[in-house]
Amino acid sequence: MPLLRDVFIALSENKVMNEASKKMGLKFGANKVVGGITVDETIERIKDINSQGMSVSFDNLGEFVTNKTDATKEKDLILKMIQAIGEEGVDASASVKLSQIGLNIDYDFCLDNVREIMDAAKANDMFVNIDMENHAAYDDTIRIVDQLMEEYDNIGTVLQSYLYSAKDDVYKYKDNRIRFVKGAYKESPQVALQSKEDIDKALELLIRLHLTKGEGFTSIATHDHNIIENMIDFIKENDIPNDRFEFQMLFGFRKELQRELVERGYNVCVYIPFGTDWYAYFMRRLAERPQNINLVVKSLSKDHTFKTASAAAGAVAIGFAALKIFKRK
Ligand SMILES: Cc1cc2nc3c(=O)[nH]c(=O)nc-3n(C[C@H](O)[C@H](O)[C@H](O)COP(=O)(O)OP(=O)(O)OC[C@H]3O[C@@H](n4cnc5c(N)ncnc54)[C@H](O)[C@@H]3O)c2cc1C
């Protein structure tokens, strides 16, 4: 359903909705996929996930920040979360999007911000993953990751299987801690595979290479049970020990599969986004899997606080997308 994906991606980029949603609290079912608005709420979520035998990687929601004041505020919130995690002694690492802390404003300013985060994480014995964003940010992100890998041992990044460049990168990062994903953004055929089948195949190949060609730690980040089972078969055939890999899934998605993997003895890490800037993230999840619109429908039927103009605008926007789904079924 490429059209539907495009609709939700367009909605995710809607500036009016993005701004309005920051004042709304978690609406439209977003509370099912976002860990909390505040640090304290999110810490409680992390404790709950830890109690189920899973680790966490937190993500401060919000990206494409365009001024230094906002970027500094976001960096400070990440530092606050790192400190809270250290104080509470919960099992969590950090996932950081560089566009949130200045990548699109000033390269050196961004580098200084990540260094501050890396230092705080190091002091709390915490791993930091630099998330991979759209292809426009790829070169600068890799430059920063490479620079920081020389300075710190608690850093890793993400390879997106839809990018043609991922095959070279998997050898380059064979000894590092790397998260493997399909890729969440709309990219051109000049830089990225377009068919789901090719992207799936590429993901499996990259993971197999990373598990066998070096000494790195492999995070297999997908909700795709077929890929997960294929990887488990490969892991068994190649006697890969459990401390060399983990499965990662997003908070709120495929909870039963997460639990089942824990019961089967595998390490599972749940990626928990938090903060006020939930709207674009939520729309991207709908873009990936339009069936997630169920979350919206369920929440609207329960939600009596549907009074503000901005909330109504949101409903119209999401309703428009929903209509497209039903038309195409
Ligand atoms: C922990 C984590 C971190 C990520 N970090 C990044 C990042 O830094 N950069 C980036 O570009 N992308 C990132 N992504 C997003 C990723 O690139 C994909 O866009 C996203 O994970 C969707 O692809 P998928 O592999 O999960 O499965 P999909 O291709 O969405 O689904 C494959 C199949 O799995 C099944 N399935 C999927 N979801 C469900 C569900 N909820 N319930 C039931 N069945 C389901 C269905 O059968 C579906 O056909 C991340 C994803 C995860 C899980």
Distance from the alpha carbon of residue 305 to the mean position of ligand 1, in angstroms? 31
Which is the closest atom of ligand 1 to the Cα of 288? 30
Nearest to 17 by CA among 277, 191, 298: 277
Residue 16 has pLDDT above 90, yes or no: no
What pLDDT was estimated at residue 305? 45
Residue 142 has pLDDT above 70, yes or no: yes
Ligand 1 contacts CB of residue 71 (under 6 A): no
Distance from the alpha carbon of residue 291 to the mean position of ligand 1, in angstroms? 13
Residue 153 has pLDDT above 80, yes or no: yes
What pLDDT was estimated at residue 262? 98
Query: For residues 179 and 292, what is the distance between their CA atoms, to the nearest angstrom?
Result: 24
Ligand 1 contacts CB of residue 131 (under 6 A): yes
- 179 classed as catalytic: yes
What pLDDT was estimated at residue 308? 44
Ligand 1 contacts CB of residue 186 (under 6 A): no
Residue 288 has pLDDT above 70, yes or no: yes
Query: For residues 203 and 158, what is the distance between their CA atoms, to the nearest angstrom?
Result: 12
Helix/strand/coil for 130: strand
Of 63-72, 153-162, 218-227, 276-285, the one with minimum mean pLDDT is 276-285
Dmax of the chain from CA atoms?
57
Residue 18 has pLDDT above 90, yes or no: no
Query: For residues 209 and 161, what is the distance between their CA atoms, to the nearest angstrom?
Result: 12
Over residues 140-168, mean pLDDT: 98
Residue 292 has pLDDT above 90, yes or no: no
Over residues 187-214, mean pLDDT: 98
Residue 78 CA neighbour count, 13 Å, CB half = 33
**pLDDT band at 278, cuts 50/70/90?**
confident
What pLDDT was estimated at residue 15? 79
- List b or e across 271-292, with b for residues whose CB sees 16 or more CB atoms inside 10 angstroms: bbbbbbbbbbbbbbbbbbebeb
Residue 19 has pLDDT above 90, yes or no: no
Ligand 1 contacts CB of residue 247 (under 6 A): no
What pLDDT was estimated at residue 302? 56
Distance from the alpha carbon of residue 106 to the mean position of ligand 1, in angstroms? 31
Residue 91 has pLDDT above 70, yes or no: yes
Q: What is the pLDDT of residues 52-82, one digit of tens each?
A: 999 999 999 987 789 999 999 999 999 999 9
Structural domains in the chain, sorted by start: 1-24+289-329 (no CATH), 35-277 (3.20.20.220)
Query: For residues 195 and 216, what is the distance between their CA atoms, to the nearest angstrom?
Result: 28
Distance from the alpha carbon of residue 224 to the mean position of ligand 1, in angstroms? 7
Ligand 1 contacts CB of residue 249 (under 6 A): yes
Which is the closest atom of ligand 1 to the Cα of 97? 8
More confident residue, 168 or 22: 168
Query: For residues 106 and 99, what is the distance between their CA atoms, to the nearest angstrom?
Result: 10
Residue 232 has pLDDT above 60, yes or no: yes
Query: For residues 237 and 255, what is the distance between their CA atoms, to the nearest angstrom?
Result: 27
More confident residue, 81 or 15: 81
Query: For residues 51 and 312, what is the distance between their CA atoms, to the nearest angstrom?
Result: 38
- Name the residue of 33, 162, 182 to mutate for ligand 1: max ligand atoms within 8 A of Cβ: 182
Nearest to 19 by CA among 78, 66, 84: 66
